[in-house]
Amino acid sequence: MCYDNKRRMTKEEEMKRNIKVILLTSLVTLSMFVVSGCDLFIKTNKGSVDLKWYMGLTYEDDSKNDVAYKTSVGDQVVAVALEDKYSDEYGIIKDTSAYVNIDTVKSNIDKRFYWDKKDKKLFFTNATEVYYVDENQPTVIHGNTDETVNYKVFLKEKKKCYVNLQFIQKFVDLDSKITKKSGKAPAIISLKYTSGEKTTFKTDSEIEMRTKGDYQNLIVKTLSKGTTVTLLGSGKNWDKVRTDDGYIGYVPVKELTDKSKKKVSYKNDDSEYKHIAMDGKVSLAWNQIYNQTANKNLESLLSKTKDINVVSPTWFSLVDRNGNLSTLADLDYVEKAHKKNIQVWALFNDFTDRNLTKKVLTSTKLRQRLVTNIMYYVDSYELDGVNIDFEYISKDIIDDYLQFLRELSVECRKNKIVLSIDNYAPSEWSGYFDREQQLKLADYLIIMNYDEHTSGSKEAGSVSSMSYAENSIKETINQAKDSSRIVGAIPFYTRAWKETPEEYSDGTGIFVEDAANGNYYLASEALGMEAAEKAYNRAGVKPSFDKTTGQNFVTYQKGHTTVSIWLEDETSVKSRLELMKKYNLAGAAYWSLGQEKADIWNIIDQYFE
């Protein structure tokens, strides 16, 4: 007889073992679901989102309640679905026509639409024409042409402008679809306008689109099986998608099938923006003109230079609220420059009064008069180009300034006149200047790459250190998206900084508190290159190289005053021209003619053929 050495399990022990197996199997299975992303055991939210709130059709009142927007005359308020989001501004449907807020249009579709709040005119400006429509008029005017349309071009609602979709599509290639209101779901104006490769899927079954990628988020819409969706953003388990009728939300990746890719192309008129290009690099010298007599110095100033192919005399200033210009122009000056094969791009500034700038640019009548006056002087003095140096452009009038540039660019393009626009070195406060749009309009964009420290600064420093100059160039290229028509300006001047202890000062300059070293007054004086050299030679000191700024530097005592100068000289000019070369800029400009040392032109000559 054979005996088993193992003890037999009792029925109770066998039952316990089976329970453990079942529990272990369940845990393994659950783990597999979790690892594989299965949502079988995740709580599913069956609630639906308030679509008016979700699509931006409500606002929060003083009591923190969400209130639906309404128009003043009871027109239908609708959502506007952009490529990948809903507009912050609602749309309007009136008499079967769809209207989109102009801020939505400018921010997302085309910046060239412009609403004149004062004169109640709507504009669209392309490379060759300025189109506009007056309030309540069925006529689109451009040049000498009046074109009648069978729809209301724009609505004015609560001080805002809403543009008819038909008028937008007259100039912009886009796809549109109107989804009618259904139950609690608002009507949607759905817009597609971005070229590129698009990925689409079909839903594999009936699924719920949600506000975020999680089953616990609210439902946007239930999509039927076979619904086509466009991919907006990929995730591990959830994709952000958009339906053809304008619903945007998240769906599970596992529920998508029939992946398809295709290139979508919308037409644009970029090729119509023809730009005038110099033969070779631009080498422009600004010529400060304070009176008519100064025009007679041109030949003397040019005799010391090399490689100059453009001169820009500071002749014209916006002088009154009617868009008129003061002038110091001289036809003989232009003729002398032309005999030397040098072009003349006269400078037009707004330095008289910042209030004049705002008054003129925000009025269509005055703005267009200014453009007309500029072109009158261009013709009268046989100018080759225009250099716009408007420095009183605050954020609240940037749209008006850009419209001025559009209108001026049309006239310059028609008359084959070079348009150049001066811009500050980029900074946090000047980010609204839209350098990309400016470069599209202009033939050349000039970076005024100086005034890192100004007469109003509370610390002494360089007019333009090398790191400041390089960062300005890089950021301008980053914003403008191109370097081939950007000109880097070089200072021919510096500042002599004078720091005088409080007890010895006569109060000239800016008072600076310094607990460590004692309070002092800081003043500065702008000096040309030769004047700066004479100043430190008289003091008996020699320059040393300052690695921080990349410039030669001098400091010396004059009585109780400490004088410091970061020099503009052969060393700094060479470094700035190296930056021009490094970033493939269109050339260099110099502020200003007559402030340089003669030897500077030997340096410049090395960089221009």
Q: Is the pLDDT assigned to residue 36 strictly greater than 50?
A: no
Residue appearing with tokens 């104006």: 189
CATH number at residue 245: 2.30.30.40
> Are 112 and 208 in the same domain?
no
Q: Is 544 exposed, middle or buried (0-12, 13-18, 19+ CB in 10 A)?
A: exposed
DSSP character string of 366-378: HHHHHHHHHHHHH
Identify the CA nearest to 212 among candidates 239, 184, 247, 246: 239
Q: Give the confidence band of 604 by pLDDT, cuts at 50, 70, 90.
A: very high
Q: What is the tens place of the pLDDT at every residue in 132-188?
A: 999 989 999 999 999 999 999 999 998 999 999 999 999 999 999 999 999 999 999
Residue 286 lies in a domain: yes
Q: Write down which residue in 214, 230, 264 finishes a domain.
A: 264
CB of 423 closer than 8 Å to CB of 433? yes
> Are 113 and 223 in the same domain?
no
Q: Give the confidence band of 28 by pLDDT, cuts at 50, 70, 90.
A: very low
- Mean pLDDT to the nearest integer, 545-571: 98
Q: Is the pLDDT assigned to residue 503 strictly greater than 90?
A: yes
Instruction: Pick 41 or 492 by higher pLDDT.
Output: 492
Tally of structural domains, the chain: 3
Q: What is the tens place of the pLDDT at every residue in 386-400?
A: 999 999 999 999 999
Q: Rounded to an integer, what distance in angstroms lies between the CA atom of residue 193 and that of residue 81?
A: 11
At residue 404, the pLDDT reads 99
Residue 259 lies in a domain: yes
The pTM of the full predicted model, rounded to 2 decimals, is 0.91
At residue 42, the pLDDT reads 61
Q: Is the pLDDT assigned to residue 11 strictly greater than 80?
A: no
* CB neighbourhood size of 13 (10 A): 11
> Are 82 and 182 in the same domain?
yes
Residue 511 lies in a domain: no
Q: Is the pLDDT assigned to residue 32 strictly greater than 80?
A: no
At residue 15, the pLDDT reads 59
Q: What's the count of helices (H) and strands (E) in the chain, helices before strands? A: 14, 37
Q: What is the tens place of the pLDDT at every residue in 406-423?
A: 999 999 999 999 999 999
> Are 94 and 234 in the same domain?
no
At residue 1, the pLDDT reads 42
Q: Rounded to an integer, what distance in angstroms lies between the CA atom of residue 431 and that of residue 428?
A: 6
At residue 73, the pLDDT reads 81
> Are 292 and 432 in the same domain?
yes
Q: Give the confidence band of 609 by pLDDT, cuts at 50, 70, 90.
A: confident
Q: Write down which residue in 264, 291, 306 finishes a domain.
A: 264
DSSP character string of 133-174: EETT--EEEETTEEEE-SS--EEEETTEEEEEHHHHHHHS--
DSSP-based three-state secondary structure for 83:
coil
Q: Which residues 6+ apart lie within 8 Å of 555 measured at CB?
A: 541, 562, 563, 564, 565
Q: Write down which residue in 218, 238, 264 finishes a domain.
A: 264
Q: 246: domain range?
A: 195-264
> Are 199 and 185 in the same domain?
no
DSSP-based three-state secondary structure for 364:
helix
At residue 411, the pLDDT reads 99
Q: What would you measure as the largest C-alpha separation in the chain, in angstroms?
A: 135
- Mean pLDDT to the nearest integer, 339-343: 98
Residue 370 lies in a domain: yes
CATH number at residue 64: 3.30.457.10
- Mean pLDDT to the nearest integer, 78-93: 98
Q: Give the confidence band of 324 by pLDDT, cuts at 50, 70, 90.
A: very high
> Are 233 and 370 in the same domain?
no
CATH number at residue 398: 3.20.20.80
Q: Give the confidence band of 2 by pLDDT, cuts at 50, 70, 90.
A: very low
Q: Which helix (H) or strand (E) holds 196?
A: strand 196-203
> Are 110 and 94 in the same domain?
yes
> Are 114 and 246 in the same domain?
no
> Are 326 and 232 in the same domain?
no
Q: Rounded to an integer, what distance in angstroms lies between the CA atom of residue 325 and that of residue 349?
A: 9
Angular region, 120: left φ>0, alpha ψ -120 to 50, beta rest? left
Of the listed ranges 65-74, 117-126, 221-230, 286-295, the one predicted with least confidence: 65-74
Q: Is the pLDDT assigned to residue 302 strictly greater than 70?
A: yes
* Residue 127, CA atoms < 13 Å, CB-side half-sphere: 14
Q: Give the confidence band of 19 by pLDDT, cuts at 50, 70, 90.
A: low
At residue 16, the pLDDT reads 54
DSSP character string of 426-441: P-STTGGG-HHHHHHH
Q: Which residues 6+ apart lie within 8 Å of 188 measured at CB?
A: 55, 78, 79, 80, 81, 178, 179, 245, 246, 247
> Are 280 and 331 in the same domain?
yes
Q: Is 27 exposed, middle or buried (0-12, 13-18, 19+ CB in 10 A)?
A: exposed
At residue 74, the pLDDT reads 81
At residue 5, the pLDDT reads 43
Q: Rounded to an integer, what distance in angstroms lies between the CA atom of residue 405 and that of residue 158?
A: 28
Q: Give the confidence band of 25 by pLDDT, cuts at 50, 70, 90.
A: very low
Q: What is the tens place of the pLDDT at every residue in 246-295?
A: 999 999 999 999 999 999 999 999 999 999 999 999 999 999 999 999 99
At residue 27, the pLDDT reads 52
Of the listed ranges 71-75, 117-121, 336-340, 504-508, the one predicted with least confidence: 71-75
Instruction: Pick 377 or 20 by higher pLDDT.
Output: 377
> Are 160 and 279 in the same domain?
no
At residue 24, the pLDDT reads 46
